[in-house]
Structure 1
Amino acid sequence: MAKEDAIEVEGTIIEPLPNAMFRVELDNGHKVLAHISGKMRMHYIKILPGDRVTVELSPYDLTRGRVTFRSKGGKGKNSRT
């Protein structure tokens, strides 16, 4: 799968799962299983339930994705909103 083929959508982290996996509720109401991208893991970016994230979905399996960005000002423990 080429990077250009990925579908980018916004969502909210619902629950953390083992092995750096997360259940994410997308803005359209669907729930997907997503893992952290390598760059986020390398830079120790923490993701908490309630955080707003950008998820890349494969066109072949729309139930699994990769978290590529955590938005600032999410509803996490240290947010100000």
Structure 2
Amino acid sequence: MSRDDLIHLEGAVTRTLGGGQMEVETEQGHTLRAVLSGRMKRFKIKVLVGDKVRVSVSPYDLSHGLITYRLK
């Protein structure tokens, strides 16, 4: 699956879970688990509880996603 096929949602980080996972509540009211993308790990971008983020979600599994961008 290419990067263009992913669904991009915006939301806020509500909890930090173990293993680098975070719980994100989207603007539509859905809650999903997400991990930092490789680029965010590579450039050491920190994401804390309360930060607004952009999450890329596969259309096949809407309960898991990748945090691809931290909004300002």
Q: What TM-score bracket applies, with the shorter chain setting the length? A: over 0.9
Question: Which ranges of structure 1 fall in alignment gaps of 5 or more residues?
Answer: 73-81
How far apart are 1:2 and its partner, in Å? 1.3
- Higher normalized strand content (fraction of residues): 2
Supply the AA of the counterpart residue of 1:20: G
Which structure is higher in RCO with an 8 Å CA cutoff and minimum separation 6? Answer: 2
Structure with the greater alpha carbon radius of gyration: 1
TM-score by length of 1: 0.86
> Is 1:41–2:41 an aligned residue pair?
yes
Sequence identity (%): 42
Equivalenced residue count is 72
TM superposition shift of 1:29: 0.2
Moved over 3 A (4+): none
Which of the two has greater helix per residue?
2
Could you tell me which runs of 5 or more consecutive residues in structure 2 were left unpaired when the two chains were aligned: none
